[in-house]
Structure 1
Amino acid sequence: MGLFAGSLPWAVMLFTPQPAGRSIDLVPLHDLPSWLAGDLGTAAAQVVGNLLVLAAFGFFLPMRFAAMASFARILAAAVATSVGIESLQWLLAIGRVSSVDDVLVNTLGAVLAAAVSRRWWVASAQELPRAGPTSPSVREPRATSGAGVGGRFRVSGSDQGVSRSHEHLCDDEH
């Protein structure tokens, strides 16, 4: 939910048409000086705004999708997403500048936000079970009753769910 809610306002802003022609700047660090050359308010809005465009994406992505829980994957996903945004802005001719500097700063924002949330996605990844021989994708849910204090159950079975076995695990094994 946070991934969606944090990204929606930026998507609306990024795709709101402006009364200008389309333009593209593919030279790295060419637009950035012009962002900073204006008054402080405009510079702050440009830099902070571009940092925040993919911040929710970088913050929540590794918590929502365990497979994305690495800086390299977050970086790759942020670059791809930002390139997609800039490409759509140009293709739709909505009066926005499509710039490689936007891609760089959007990506930086996603990676910085991922660094802020790292403690939670690393903790989530450590709670995932080790792959077993019968079902590598089955999570070990915390037991709510019947397992004793701190007990865990492991559920394993075939992909079709035909047979299931429950095995009590002690916390001492972890």
Structure 2
Amino acid sequence: MDDDRRRVLDVALLCAGLAVAVLTLTPTGAAGWAWGAPLTELRWYATGLESRTTLFQLLGNLALLAPLAALAVLRWPALGTPHRLVVVAVAVAGGVELLQWALPLGRVVSPVDAALNVTGAVLAGLLAAAAIRVRRAPAGA
């Protein structure tokens, strides 16, 4: 990978990381945190998919770490395996939820959100890895 491409990916990764921080670690006005009970949240998703709010929340959680994961795989192609992506995505999503719990942001700490974040990150990372393989494949193969 040439230096210019590496620099562009580094800047894009920084921007994606900052976007995740702004979206997840800015205060909501209330102090402390709330627990997102997994069964309650799963029921909310399962029964509310016709609601714009529910659909927005679902898609937003799936998309939250996706750009970060895709850019990370483009920057470090060895990261583009399911096992590595799951490990890194769990660490990042878990870190976000841990910070939401530890800081007085008024956020909801949710294992379901973290699982959706991981799912979106892994899918995006695998798509980026597939794109790298296609790009490296010999023409006409």
Normalised to the residue count of structure 1, the TM-score between the two structures is 0.62
* Matched residue count: 125
Question: What displacement does 1:56 show?
Answer: 0.9
Contact 2:61 2:113 in 1 (8 A): yes
Question: What displacement does 1:119 show?
Answer: 2.3
Q: How far apart, CA to CA, are the structure 1 residues paired with 2:59 and 2:53?
A: 10
Alignment of 1:143-158 (within 5 A): none
Higher relative contact order (CA 8 A, sep 6+): 2
- Give 1:112's aligned amino acid: L
Contiguous gaps of at least 5 residues in structure 1? 128-174
The runs of at least 4 consecutive aligned structure 1 residues that moved more than 6 Å come to: none
Contact 2:77 2:129 in 1 (8 A): no
Question: What displacement does 1:67 show?
Answer: 3.1
The change in CA–CA distance for 1:95 and 1:36 in structure 2 (over 3 A counts) is farther
Q: CA RMSD in A?
A: 2.4
Aligned to 2:63: 52
1:8 to 18, 27, 31: 18
Question: What displacement does 1:49 show?
Answer: 0.7
From the two aligned structures, give the one with the greater strand fraction. 1
Which is greater in Rg?
1
Question: What displacement does 1:29 show?
Answer: 4.6
Contiguous gaps of at least 5 residues in structure 2? 1-10
Aligned to 2:44: 34
Normalised to the residue count of structure 2, the TM-score between the two structures is 0.75
